Amino acid sequence: MTGLDPATREWLEAQGFAVGDETPWLEALTHGSFNGAGGGATDYQRLEFLGDRVLGLSVASWLYRAGDGPEGRLSQRLNALVSGATCARIARDIGLPAHIRLGKQARDDGGADSEKILGDVMEALIGACFIENGFDAAQSAVYRLWTRELEGDVGKAKHPKSALQEWAAGNRRQMPHYEVTDRSGPDHAARFTVRVSIRNVGEAEATASSKGEAEKLAAKAFLERFG
């Protein structure tokens, strides 16, 4: 396995990550397509699995200590703060796309700006930090990188799917029905179109890079049209 590019090492350290053994950091930044291109490195999936849990616990602890409302509101904010969309937004903010190791085809297909890949790699870096430096360091990294989101309004507004469900109940309508009507693009840059309908009311559609995000946007569009 080759070592970290010096510019990537410098970038990691500029984000506050203490890099000792380069192996977990290389793994965290390596997409599966890089192996297919002959890179011979392990991809980020195992570290992403770990980092997802470290991120969730770190954010849940912050919200609990912040006294941020009852359990339902805590869950709503937690889900928003650890979502793939939030992870990808932070990844873009810190310049992560330039440092992801992708195969040529995946890069040509826009993999470096894929919300799914960026979110996964962001979590993998948290996992690498945990492996290298322990939980306290990983938690500190999360709080540093997520400062704006934790102190802002992310997740405070009612989720559109919850709002639509409440609207349906309040108007004595059947519960919303979600259906994936189209899926296009390669796995690392997939696009999902979702239709939400309520019987005897109407329907709305939306397209996004994940099924969950498309459902959210469809619910929002439905409320704007019929609510």
Active site residues: 52, 123
- State the Cα–Cα distance between residues 3 and 6, nearest whole angstrom: 9
Instruction: Answer whether 134's CB lies under 8 Å from 26's CB.
Output: no
Question: Residue 187 has which token pair?
Answer: 């796995």
Give SS3 for 194.
Answer: strand
What is the H or E stretch that residue 8 is in? helix 6-14
For residue 174, report the phi and psi dihedrals to the nearest 5 degrees. Answer: -65, 160
Rg of the chain over all Cα atoms, to the nearest angstrom: 19
- State the Cα–Cα distance between residues 80 and 55, nearest whole angstrom: 12
Give SS3 for 216.
Answer: helix
- State the Cα–Cα distance between residues 17 and 13, nearest whole angstrom: 5
Question: Residue 142 has which token pair?
Answer: 């999360």
For residue 157, report the phi and psi dihedrals to the nearest 5 degrees. Answer: -75, 150
Torsion of CA 227, 77, 176, 207, to 10 degrees: 90
What is the H or E stretch that residue 192 is in? strand 191-198
